[in-house]
Amino acid sequence: MSSPGLSRRLGLGDAVVIGLGAMIGAGVFSAFAPAAQAAGSGLLVGLALAAVIAFGNATSTAQLAAVHPTSGGVYAYGRAELGPWWGFLAGWGFVIGKTASCAAMALTFAAYAAPAGWERPIAASAALALGAVNLFGITRTAQVARVLVTIVLIALTVVVVAGSAAPTAPTPFWGDAPFASGPLGVLQAAGLLFFAFAGYARIATLGEEVRDPARTIPRAIVLAFGGALVVYAVVGVVTLRVLGPDVLAAASAPLVATVEAAGWDAATPIVRIGAAAASLGALLALIAGVGRTAFAMAREEDLPRFLATVDARWRVPRNAEIAVVVIVVAIVAFGDIRGAIGFSSFGVLLYYAVANLAAFRQRGAARRYPRVLQIVGGIGCVVLVVTLPWPSVPVGFGVLVLGLGYRMLRLRRRA
């Protein structure tokens, strides 16, 4: 007997909140420090570059989603516009990259919320708990995401107000050597910060659960991206102004360090709560997105078929989401945040390279945005992939080849 289908229960506000929860939590509390390690005072240039490339990718994704309102995001779009191998490349890149993102968010939550020495057990527990939330239906996911995004915005408001009143760092971001790290450092920072903007993909992967998807998904993607860009720009300027590039690069909790430098020690618990909520919001949306992409790939037999099972009561891809959580827990046990962010960026940049190529090929009424945006997005993805910090590129390439080899063997067995 075939599995039941997914159910269209989400409106525009729900989709925007899920996208914001993924983007704000994905980077504002975790990506600035490794980006500052790479680029120093060139961090803001890296942020601007990441935003330009991400905007090209966002418009490509929105244009594709309007024509292909189905689960799987660019995996489904790549199959439809370019062919099965391109779709598999995008889907596999998304699954491996965003599974690493799940681990990064679980570890970020633990860094802010767990007692010393308990980070990994707490991170694993968070992944298990939010995986359970997702199993009770997509409307539960949207409700929890709305609460978490509200908490995050309150905490970030405190950081910005405190930072605006704080004295400027001895070595501010406009110091004597603003680009001492060179162009490579700026590109590496852009690649790491791109990780922060990629949350709008979660909206596209919910194509079978959004009402009026041809209209809702493109609007939700652009709105969520615009909101996240404003948040990152403001917080990035404030933290660099207060801490300077050197202190920011070394900070394990940079936004907590910002309010402490401003003398607002009493606000530290608010920021920690906000960081924990942001990480949980991103983790919640990530598990949902990866699970649905794995579900779409399994439905086409590009992943094991048992992952295509849909729960009869809650209408969620149950087995796919359970598998994602199990793998995330394994990564949490052995990985670290910086490595997870770099690996995530590798997979997701490949995913969006396929998105730009697929959108570039669209013709006629399907076109919504100028092709120059797809050219900028596609070239930018390739450049950022090859300049990511070591060892993200060789490890990512190895896992990519493993996935392609799996599909080749499966096709030979079928033949």
Classify 206 as helix, strand or coil: strand
The pLDDT of residue 141 is 64
The pLDDT of residue 259 is 94
pLDDT tens, 47-59? Answer: 999 999 999 998 8
pTM score above 0.85: no
- Judged against a pLDDT cut of 50, whether residue 1 lies above it is answered with no
The pLDDT of residue 106 is 93
Instruction: Give DSSP secondary structure letters for 219-257.
Output: HHHHHHHHHHHHHHHHHHHHHHHHHHHHHHHH-SSHHHH
Provide mean pLDDT across the span 121-145: 83
Classify 161 as helix, strand or coil: helix
Provide mean pLDDT across the span 265-269: 92
The pLDDT of residue 352 is 92
The pLDDT of residue 176 is 44
Provide mean pLDDT across the span 260-271: 92
Q: How confident is the model at residue 139 (pLDDT cuts 50, 70, 90)?
A: low
User: Could you give the percent of the chain with pLDDT greater than 90?
Assistant: 39
Provide mean pLDDT across the span 26-37: 81
Backbone angles phi, psi at 263, to 5 degrees: 80, 15
Dihedral angle, C-alpha 300, 301, 305, 310, nearest 10 °: -10
Please give the C-alpha separations between residue 34 and each of 29, 246, 388, in angstroms, as whole numbers: 11, 11, 12
The pLDDT of residue 137 is 66
Beta bridge partners of 210: 10
Q: In whole numbers, what is the pLDDT of the chain averaged over residues? A: 86
H or E segment and range at residue 383:
helix 371-386
The pLDDT of residue 327 is 95
- Judged against a pLDDT cut of 70, whether residue 26 lies above it is answered with no
Please give the C-alpha separations between residue 200 and each of 286, 309, 323, in angstroms, as whole numbers: 10, 25, 23
The lowest-confidence range among 5-19, 82-96, 300-314, 358-372 is 5-19
Backbone angles phi, psi at 313, to 5 degrees: -90, -50
**Largest Cα–Cα distance in the chain?**
69
Provide mean pLDDT across the span 270-283: 86
Euclidean distance between CA atoms 273 and 278, whole angstroms: 9
Dihedral angle, C-alpha 366, 370, 373, 375, nearest 10 °: 90
pLDDT tens, 317-357? Answer: 899 999 999 999 999 998 787 788 888 889 989 999 999 99
Look at domain 12-414 and name its CATH class. mainly alpha
Provide mean pLDDT across the span 70-87: 89
Instruction: Give DSSP secondary structure letters for 13-45.
Output: HHHHHHHHHHHHHHHTTTTHHHHHHHHGGGHHH
- Judged against a pLDDT cut of 80, whether residue 175 lies above it is answered with no
Q: How confident is the model at residue 203 (pLDDT cuts 50, 70, 90)?
A: confident
Euclidean distance between CA atoms 19 and 28, whole angstroms: 14
Euclidean distance between CA atoms 269 and 266, whole angstroms: 7
Provide mean pLDDT across the span 69-91: 89
